[in-house]
Structure formats: structure tokens, C-alpha cells
Amino acid sequence: MTRIQAAHSRRQFLARWAGGFGASALGSLFAGQQKPHFPAKAKSVIFLFMEGGPSQVDLFDPKPALVKWNDQPLPDSLRGNARFAFIQPNAKVWASERTFRRQGASGIEVSDWLPHLAAKSDLITLVRSVVSDQVNHVPGQLMLQCGSPLAGRPSMGAWALYGLGTESQDLPGFVVLFSGGRAPQASGGIYTNGFLPSAYQGTPFRSSGDPVLHLSNAPGFDRAAQRQRIDLIRDLNEQHRLRTGDAEIASRVASYELAFRMQAEAPALLDLSKETAATRASYGLDSPDTRQFGSNCLLARRMVERGVRFILLSHASWDDHADLEKNHARNCLMTDQPAAALLEDLRQRGLLDSTLVVWGGEFGRTPMVQHENPTRPETRGRDHHPYAFSMWLAGGGIARGRVHGKTDDFGFGVAEDKVHVHDVQATILHCLGLDHEKLTFRFQGRDFRLTDVEGSVVKQILA
């Protein structure tokens, strides 16, 4: 049994059989810190999840060789056994229309759609050789965030919280924020606790008003009355827990207590007027194009300052089977400046070394065209592509100004240093001081982990 399993078993025993807990004691069962397996570089993770699959050949992986193959079928030698969601393997090649320039001292090439991130390229490691096993959105999103295409497995944020607890006593340890107009296609599956105790589930926040609906008291219902009400509910739950031995009741009581503390803390968290005008402008809060994602990025930094362990920012959607030029340009406009501002803000505040920032989607997009209309070339799009795509990482234990991995001349497959999504997960946990092979939870007779039975830390990208 690992140290973390032993600690969790003790918590389960206490939750089942000990009586007479006060509110703070119940809360500490789930909010307290646990020890990592080894010294950690990162204390927190901010995952910028680009839901839908951004196009690597238009953003981070320039392929000038595609130009001579433009409008021709992909060579037979490349297709292999590749599966696609909608197009045929002999679909025509579409060379990217973007301009790539080398940026910073590192010389990393980034698309002209991402000028702000390009200017911060010396802070990131760009991984161009990520692969996944899943070709469709829901299983792909579950694979990236939960390590399995099957619904019901714990998400990465839940594993991090289970392994380390949280430094924040007044906010959830795992928070989820949305932008772009809709929730991810896998919905709550990407932030579920799965078979872990429910205290480890991600908490969806809104970026304005009450972060959680109905968090505020009704008019005329003061804090003292709310405290009495919570105490009564706690006592009733305690009696039921002692009769049934149901450990989940402790999670329920802890949730009530956390919500009560959040009533005092959340308004201050969401009050972005306390930030300087320069900071708000840097995140794009002055523009309707960047305000939503920018607010989420700024909130993520404020959460890191308050000890939140894992923040998932889901931006939907990059799923551009048609009209990719228009839609990708729009998404880049919405996310580029805020993401770059987040990196710089963390750096200036001395938080980047202890905060791991990850950017990426569940897969990339094909170098071949979809929905080609000769009379309307502007409507072209790209299909799903899990065989080679790009992600970047920065901060907390990650090297700066580095490119890892290489794809073939078409951006179709990996030519060097393949990185499976399980390897990405293992590396994220490593930066948090967690050994992905030891972070396990016994369920239905077997030990489960985020990376299932695979995954290796990508040591070449570590600082």
C-alpha cells in the first residue's frame, strides 16, 4: 500500500466510524495537504483545454513541404491503417495558409494567428509529437483528461487533489471554468471524481455573479442564521453516518462547510476591479473578443495565489470541419492574448516556477482538406487527427524555450520522440511530485491509476 493510499484509508476509517466531529474536522478530511512522493516543482496546475482539436499545422507545426503536395491526395505510404472521423484516406492535401516566424532566443516557430503567445515562446516547451488513441471527441476528451475513453474514470484534477489535497481552505481544490459558448462535448466527464470520493470532483465556476448558482444567501437571511442551518444539517448527517457507515456522508458535510466558507471568500476572488487597469488590459478584459477567456485566465492566477490545486479552463470549440480559416482565427483572437498574459503575469509575480501551465486539445486536425467547395475555398476545414498534434507546457518543472518531438513532412505522423497522452499525464503528475505508477486507488478489486498501465515521464522536457 502506498503512503497516499494509507492516508486515504485512514480518512475512510475516520469518516465511517469516528463520531463527534466538528465542522472544521470534517472539512480537514478532504481539504488538508498530503505529502508528495518526492519534492515537487509545481504546486498548482492550470490546464488550458482547447476543446475540439486545434490544427497543429496551422498553429505550431509549420510544414512548407505541403505546398508542393497541395490539392493532391496524400501519398499511399503515409496512410497506413489510419482512421478518420469523416473524410476518406485519399482526401486532398491542404497546405496551411499561415505564416510562421522564429520567435525569441529559442527560435520557436509559431503561427501568425498567435502573435502574443509567439512573443512568450522562450517560456514554453512546445511538444509537436503528441498522439492519442481516440479519433472522436468524447472518448478523446476523456482519454486526455481521465486516461481512458470510458466514462466514469477520475479526471486528472481529481487525481491531483486526491494525491496532494489543497492549500486552500475557502475554495475548492479543483475548479473548472468555461468559455467559447458551450461546455465540452464530454461534459462533466472531464472533471468528474469517478470512483474517487466525491470531495475530489471538479467544481464548475462562473466568471461573474455567484461562482456557483445560489451560493449567496437569500435577502434577509444573514450569515448567523446560515451557520445555524449548516450546523443542524451537519448534526443530522452525522447521525445518519454513524448508523450507516457511509463515507460519502462526510463528503457531503465537507461540501456544505466549504460552501459556507466560499460565501465569504468567493466575492473577493471574483472582484477583478481590485486588479490594476494595466493587468486587466493585459488579459484583454477591455475587449469583448478576449473578455471571457481573459477573465478566466485572470481568475486562474488569483486561484493559484489562494492555493487552489488544479484549475481547468475549457474553451470550446476548435472543431472546424468547415470554415477553419474563419473559426480558428476567431478562437485564436479570443485566447492568444489572455494565455500569453497569464504566462507573463505568473512570471512577474514569481508564480510561474511553482505553477504548471498546459495548453492543448484532445487531438489535432488533418493536413488534408474536408468540405472542399471549389467555388468557396474559404469554407474548407480539417478532420480529427490523433496521430500527431501539438501541445505546450510552461512553468513548474518544465524547461523553457524548447521544442520536443518532430512530425513528418506532412504533419501526419510522428517522426521523432512520440509522446502519448499517458506520457503527458505522467509528466504533469511528476511535476506535482507524484509518481503516476504509485498514485493508485483500489476499486472493484484492482488498483486504478490515471495512466492505466502505460505512460512514462517525458524527462527531456523537464527543467
pLDDT tens-digit profile of 178-199? 999 888 999 999 999 999 999 8
| Rg, the chain, Cα only | 23
Q: Which residues contact 172 (CB under 8 A, 6 or more apart)?
A: 166, 202, 203, 258, 262, 308
Model pLDDT, residue 83? 87
Can you tell me the distance from the alpha carbon of 189 to that of 69, in angstroms, rounded to the nearest whole number?
A: 40
Can you tell me the distance from the alpha carbon of 93 to that of 74, in angstroms, rounded to the nearest whole number?
A: 6
Helix, strand, coil in percent for the chain, rounding step 5 = 40, 15, 45
Q: Which residue has the higher pLDDT, 406 or 236?
A: 406
Q: Please report, to the nearest 10 degrees, the dihedral formed by the alpha carbons of residues 318, 324, 327, 333 taken in order.
A: 90
User: Distance of CA 166 to CAs 2, 89, 94, 136, Å?
Assistant: 19, 47, 46, 33
Task: Tally Cβ neighbours within 10 Å of residue 460.
Answer: 13
Three-state SS at 217: coil
Can you tell me the distance from the alpha carbon of 391 to that of 190, in angstroms, rounded to the nearest whole number?
A: 18
Count how many Cα atoms sit within 13 Å of the Cα of residue 446 in the half-sphere of its side chain: 4
Helix (H) or strand (E) holding 380: none
Q: Which residues contact 287 (CB under 8 A, 6 or more apart)?
A: 294
Banded model confidence at residue 20, pLDDT cuts 50, 70, 90: very low
Count how many Cα atoms sit within 13 Å of the Cα of residue 130 in the half-sphere of its side chain: 35
Q: Domain residues for 401?
A: 42-215+278-461
Chain mean position to CA 274: 26
Report the candidate in 419, 350, 422 with the shortest Cα–Cα distance to residue 391: 419
**CATH number of the domain enclosing 378:** 3.40.720.10
Q: Which residues contact 283 (CB under 8 A, 6 or more apart)?
A: 290, 294, 295, 297, 298, 337, 338, 341, 342, 345
Q: What is the pLDDT of residues 399-453, one digit of tens each?
A: 999 999 999 999 999 999 999 999 999 999 999 999 999 999 999 999 999 999 9
Under 8 Å between Cβ of 343 and 298: no
The DSSP line for 390-412 is EEEEEETTB-SSEEE-EE-TTSS
Does residue 31 sit within a domain? Answer: no
Does residue 395 sit within a domain? Answer: yes
Can you tell me the distance from the alpha carbon of 325 to that of 333, in angstroms, rounded to the nearest whole number?
A: 12
The DSSP line for 171-207 is S-SEEEEEESSS--TTGGGGS--TTS-GGGS-EEE-S
Report the alpha-carbon angle 166-363-309, nearest 5.
Answer: 5
pTM for the complete prediction?
A: 0.87
Report the candidate in 80, 92, 74, 64 with the shortest Cα–Cα distance to residue 381: 92
Can you tell me the distance from the alpha carbon of 342 to that of 337, in angstroms, rounded to the nearest whole number?
A: 9
Does residue 224 sit within a domain? Answer: no
Report the alpha-carbon angle 233-239-242, nearest 5.
Answer: 135
Can you tell me the distance from the alpha carbon of 43 to that of 163, in angstroms, rounded to the nearest whole number?
A: 12
Please say if the pLDDT value at position 85 is more than 60: yes
Give the sign of the dihedral formed by CA 130, CA 131, CA 132, CA 137: positive
Q: Which amino acid is at 236?
A: L
Please say if the pLDDT value at position 367 is more than 70: yes
Does residue 143 sit within a domain? Answer: yes
Does residue 23 sit within a domain? Answer: no
**Average per-residue pLDDT for the chain:** 88
Q: What is the pLDDT of residues 268-292, one digit of tens each?
A: 888 899 899 999 999 999 999 999 9
Banded model confidence at residue 11, pLDDT cuts 50, 70, 90: very low
The mean per-residue pLDDT over the stretch 219-225 comes to: 66
Does residue 177 sit within a domain? Answer: yes
Does residue 263 sit within a domain? Answer: no
Domain count, the chain: 1
Please say if the pLDDT value at position 74 is more than 70: yes
Helix boundaries (H) for 208-290: 223-244, 248-270, 277-282
Residue 128, all three cell numbers: 509537436
Task: Tally Cβ neighbours within 10 Å of residue 392.
Answer: 28
Model pLDDT, residue 242? 77
Three-state SS at 332: helix
Give the sign of the dihedral formed by CA 332, CA 336, CA 337, CA 342: positive
Does residue 236 sit within a domain? Answer: no
Q: What is the pLDDT of residues 126-182, one digit of tens each?
A: 999 999 999 999 999 999 999 999 999 999 999 999 999 999 888 999 999 999 988
